[in-house]
Amino acid sequence: MQAALARAAARKARDLTRRKSVLENTTLPGKLADCSIKDPAACELYLVEGDSAGGSAKQARDRSFQAILPLRGKIINVEKARINKMLSNTEIQAIITAIGTSLADEFDLAGARYHKIIIMTDADVDGAHIRTLILTFLFRNMVELIEAGYVYVAQPPLYRISHKRQEYYAFNDQQLEQVLDRVGRNGASIQRFKGLGEMNPEQLWETTMNPNTRTLLQVTVDDATIADEIFTTLMGDKVEPRREFIEANARYVRNLDV
């Protein structure tokens, strides 16, 4: 029993040391392309899915107020992970350091380096999953950012329609049909973007990053109790509640990517 207690105490000390070193790290991530303006109220941080899209975003951005942090792959599901495992994840470390507020009990909203944190992922199922993982992390560890209105979701287009040397963009199938009905189907060329990386910097800027033309969805927590239950059900480690939720709501699915 004494040996077991000693091992538990040593493990706790290691976890605490690791947690403290991560939270006190003030060196910005190497892959962060920061902006030149230092006023947080005027600055934006884009959390971008993948290096390919990150490269396009870095070329497309306005360097004065837009920062880009590419994230490799899918970040860890924090709903299932212990805090020491979460904080050892490279992508989580990069997000924490870039935002600058620390997290959990040590969270300080005044330390936020950006007042717009924009999640920009592909307009497909994988992109939606990555967006959900990031939102889960923010909701569980930096919910004050959401409550302050600092968190947004970018809306990249799904289609580009070319017709008579004019270009139009559609964000879903319904908008695609509306554009085709308006401009005519004869001679129309349709491109479906598989990912952000398929857009050139000019297209990405005009459709998704230009403050004058983009569409951003602000993330809010209208009911913290309901939000907490949803995150626990859908992202937690218990399978049965998630299966029951899927069985009860499967009939309402409208856009299923199989």
Domains and CATH numbers, the chain: 14-156+213-221 (3.40.50.670), 157-192 (no CATH), 225-253 (no CATH)
Which ranges of the chain have pLDDT less than 70? 5-6, 8-27, 223-239, 241-242, 245-258
Q: Is the Cβ–Cβ distance between 159 and 193 less than 8 Å? A: yes
Q: How many angstroms separate the CA atoms of 69 and 25, rounded?
A: 17
Dump pLDDT digits (tens) for 26-69. 567 778 999 999 999 999 999 998 888 888 899 999 999 999 99
The sign one gets for the Cα dihedral 42, 140, 80, 131 is negative
Catalytically active residues are 49, 122, 124, 126
Dump pLDDT digits (tens) for 215-233. 999 998 875 456 566 666 6
Task: Give pTM, 2 decimals.
Answer: 0.78
Average pLDDT, the chain: 82
The sign one gets for the Cα dihedral 132, 169, 52, 149 is negative
